[in-house]
Amino acid sequence: MIIAHEFSPTKGSESAVGWNLVTRLCKYHDVTVFYASGSQFRNNSYVEVINNYFKTSPPIQGLTCVNIDKPPMSKLLAKFNYVFRKLTPIGLPVLYYWGYNYWQRSVFKKGKSLHQTTNFDIVHQLTQITFREPGYMWKLGIPFVWGPTGGTSTFPNTFRKKLSITSKILISIRSISNFYQFRFVSRISNANKKASVIYSFSKKDAERLKKRATGEIKIMLDVGTYPRPDVAIEGRKDDGILRGIWCGRLSDFKAPGILIEALALSPVTREKIRFIIIGNGGLGESMSTLAKELKLENIEWIKEVDHAKVFELMGQSDFFVHTSIQEATSSVITEALTMGLPVICHDAFGMSIAITDSCGIKVPLVSPVESIEGFHRAMESIVLDKKLLEELKVGAYKRSLEISWDRMAETIANDYMAIVNEKK
């Protein structure tokens, strides 16, 4: 039994986590997945997409999909939360997780009933990936697996000055919430203790979870790759100009300003790099103004583009920059690796695991000033050392093979078998 609130063959982010892992696990085991009817602001979006998918695609052997509609209270809270949808992708977090908890209660009621007739061997709380909501299935009395999960880390204080007032408030609420929930919410503590295996997407989260766990803690990214054997990692334009790409929401936590200020630090990064920045958001206008103030003429701004076009632009680029200062492992990082792009990012969260010295350059997450200087040095090094760039390109594609969805599913499937055999 797998609980995957987000589950869709066409959506990204956590919906991709649910779909890619669940459908691959069916190669090894019979899987029943419980999924939500839709995302927070689109009630039936997952149901419609999945139904349409199976109209044109053959059934997946070993897979049983059970849709659990959002209970009335979840829908009511989502209506209230719609007012705050511009604050974060999930609106006001407290309203979102409150509604999500009501859905988990419905899932437990259905799962407990189905378990009496199906007699499941193991249950896995898969998505959402946050530690805040482990669900209730650990109460079933069968082996419980949780994750990839995390999010216990606090926001670095040195970056607070760069945040808007709204973001500062959200960060303060999150910090207080993290402190309270991880230490004092018994359901989170009990799930941690009951789990046979917990997959953590960061080293710091793993350390915290391990302090109270009785089962095994394993490091596992929350996103995988789709290796593409047709990717050409050599033979791009050799005109002395490197092409970089940044992709994401233009928000405080993605910190695009770090990239812009880093590009302005020397003639090398001003004149030898052409950059594409893809994304829109609250910082769009201020970032464009900042680039003009710094007299940068090497940036092309693209507000919105479909997913296929992103891959096309990546295929024309030499490296990828990810300046985020708070998240798990962004899917754009694994997509960049799949396209043979070295990644320059912070040495923090899931990025510190996804990126190795063979496929990218990691910058310590210490302060805005040190990040700007670190990203600048990283970009300057690959401009001046062509051999380094080529080695990192080869390493990027090799890394994409190591962290593929197939590899992740194989690891989880083997763990299921080991856990059940040990119990027997």
Orientation of helix 307-315 relative to helix 331-338, angle to 10°:
50
pLDDT of residue 44: 77
pLDDT of residue 249: 87
Give the pair of three-digit tokens for residue 209.
């979870």
More confident residue, 280 or 4: 4
Q: Is the pLDDT of residue 161 over 60?
A: yes
Q: Is the pLDDT of residue 152 over 90?
A: no
pTM above 0.85, yes or no: yes
pLDDT of residue 232: 63
pLDDT of residue 156: 79
pLDDT of residue 307: 75
pLDDT of residue 401: 92
Burial class (CB in 10 A: 0-12, 13-18, 19+), 48: middle
Element (H, E) at 109: helix 93-118
pLDDT in tens, 43-55: 778 888 999 999 9
Q: Is the pLDDT of residue 236 over 80?
A: no
Please give the C-alpha separations between residue 414 and each of 335, 407, 410, 411, in angstroms, as whole numbers: 26, 11, 6, 5
Q: How far is 275 from 17, CA to CA, in rounded Å?
A: 29
Q: Where in the chain is the domain with CATH 3.40.50.2000?
A: 2-224+404-423, 242-402
Beta bridge partners of 277: 246, 301
Which of 242, 138, 260 lies closest to 195 in space, CA to CA? 138
191 and 134 in contact (C-beta within 8 Å)?
A: yes
225-263: b or e for each residue (b if 16 or more CB lie within 10 Å)?
A: bebeeebebeeeeeeeebbbbbbbbbbbbbbbbbbbbbb
Lowest mean pLDDT, pick from 224-233, 348-357, 371-380: 224-233
pLDDT in tens, 128-140: 888 989 999 999 9
Give the pair of three-digit tokens for residue 208.
């915290």
Tell me the mean pLDDT in the region 159-179: 84
> Which residues have C-beta within 8 Å of that of residue 313, sequence separation ≥ 6?
245, 276, 278, 302, 305
- Phi-psi sector, 249: left (phi>0), alpha (psi -120 to 50), beta: beta
pLDDT of residue 313: 92
Orientation of helix 165-184 relative to helix 93-118, angle to 10°:
40
- Sheet of 273-278, strands arranged across: 299-302, 273-278, 242-247, 319-322, 343-346, 360-363
* Residue that is written with structure tokens 């490197």 in the block: 242
pLDDT of residue 42: 78
**CATH code assigned to 242-402:** 3.40.50.2000
Q: Is the pLDDT of residue 415 over 80?
A: yes
Which of 409, 414, 419 lies closest to 22 in space, CA to CA? 409
Asked if CATH classification 3.40.50.2000 holds for the domain at 2-224+404-423, the reply, yes or no, is yes
CA 174 to chain centre: 18
Cα-Cα-Cα-Cα dihedral sign, residues 400, 402, 403, 407: positive
pLDDT of residue 233: 60
